[in-house]
Structure 1
Amino acid sequence: VFAICRGMQELNVAFGGTLLTEIQEMAGRSDHRAPTSEHQDERFRIAHTVDVESGSQLEKVIGDAKFNVNSLHRQALGSLGKGLKIEAMAEDDTIEAVSVTGAKGYVVATQWHPEYWVASDGPSQKLFKAFGDAARAYAGQRT
């Protein structure tokens, strides 16, 4: 499973977590919404840094403790669902990535959209490579 943006939010709710809405109005939170623009490159521009949790699955995949991501959301994870583990945080304490503790396979979720910059962004490429490798490994076990 590779859940992106709303997919991460839905994963959290499925595991019993909650969502925060209109986080840009909350004290101490940044505005994570996409800029208003007709140009997709501007809407999906790199917006902020995420801090990767030491020893996390995300750190193993990407290899960096910090990297930059885009940001296009006004909701965020509130209480963390049971069995989920925080993988990365934004500087304003917004949860930016999670995984499932003890999952039998690859389960990573990101709040940002790595698919938009996958052709040119190293961390995005590494995420999709890891997902593809996991899917191929799973398929190989089934045959």
Structure 2
Amino acid sequence: MSGASVGGAPIVGITAYAERARWGEAWEMRAALLPWEYVEAVARAGGMPVLLPPVAAEGGATAGLDALVLAGGGDIAPDRYGAAPADATAGVDPGRDASEFALFEEALGRRLPVLGVCRGLQVMNVARGGTLHQHLPDVVGGNGHRKRTAVFDPHTVRVAPGSRTAGILGRTELEVPTYHHQGLDTLGEGLVATAWAEDGIVEAVEFTGEPRALGVQWHPEMGDDPSLFRWLVAEARSARSER
């Protein structure tokens, strides 16, 4: 059964945060929220964005969706990849972990297109048995992936020629907006690295046997290159027509 649509636009679910937020003159309480740039990126690519709060579900959470974006956010609980928490690991939310890992598996089961962004890439990797570096400065000896607090500074990424990632981006070298302190260590089963930072940290992965799943370590929603979101929406249209 195909997903619902609004004006023919594919419905793209985006995982959201559960955080304390403030709005209006006096309101301050826990809210489901998401940086607006994700919403704009999906809408500009021709999709209809729908926020997916981190709630427990027994299945069917992706019903009605044509694609899924696993958004950025806090660190994944290290026990999910067999590690003890490092001192720098922060922002762990077991409820969000549970929700997003379930959403990812359900989306793959329905063969929905999936784009993982930053934390989302890490969810994809851990879900397939991969591991993470818990603090990149301890690994690469610098802060090139998170130079300043709350600023998406750029760095260079090299993309494997001939990869699906390169085909989507239309180039094999680019500057990307980035903000993360963790990264992929051991790759999960079925994942292939397709882009790297200058320090060797993996910046993108593809899935063998899952051509509609792709993850990037940078934040494309914060840049001016719409190619990844255009790819996601195009794949969503194609997938919907096949169901």
TM range (shorter): 0.7 to 0.9
> CA separation in 2, counterparts of 1:87 and 1:133?
21
> CA separation in 2, counterparts of 1:30 and 1:36?
11
1:77 to 184, 192, 205: 184
1:14 to 113, 127, 137: 127
> CA separation in 2, counterparts of 1:126 and 1:62?
6
TM-score (norm: length of structure 1): 0.85
> CA separation in 1, counterparts of 2:148 and 2:140?
20
Whether the aligned pair in 1 keeps the contact of 2:144 and 2:155 (CA below 8 Å) is no
1:125 aligns with 2:231: no
TM-score (norm: length of structure 2): 0.51
Change (3 A) 1:23 1:131: same
Q: Which residue of 2 aligns with 1:40?
A: none
> CA separation in 2, counterparts of 1:85 and 1:59?
13
Alignment of structure 1 residues 1-143 onto 2, 5 Å: 1-28=114-141, 30-36=143-149, 43-45=151-153, 47-103=154-210, 105-117=211-223, 121=224, 124-142=225-243
Deviation at 1:112, TM superposition (A): 0.5
Task: Give the secondary structure class of the aligned counterpart of 2:144.
Answer: coil
Runs of 4+ deviating beyond 6 Å: none
Higher Rg: 2
Deviation at 1:29, TM superposition (A): 5.3
Task: Give the secondary structure class of the aligned counterpart of 1:99.
Answer: strand
> CA separation in 1, counterparts of 2:119 and 2:169?
22
> CA separation in 1, counterparts of 2:242 and 2:140?
48
Task: Give the secondary structure class of the aligned counterpart of 1:26.
Answer: helix
Deviation at 1:28, TM superposition (A): 4.9
| More contact order relative to length (CA 8 Å, sep ≥ 6) | 1
Identity, % of aligned positions: 40
Amino acid at match of 1:90: A
Give structure 1 stretches of 5+ with no counterpart.
38-42
Change (3 A) 1:27 1:88: closer
Deviation at 1:36, TM superposition (A): 2.1
> CA separation in 1, counterparts of 2:190 and 2:127?
11
* RMSD of aligned alpha carbons: 1.4
Aligned residue-pair number: 130
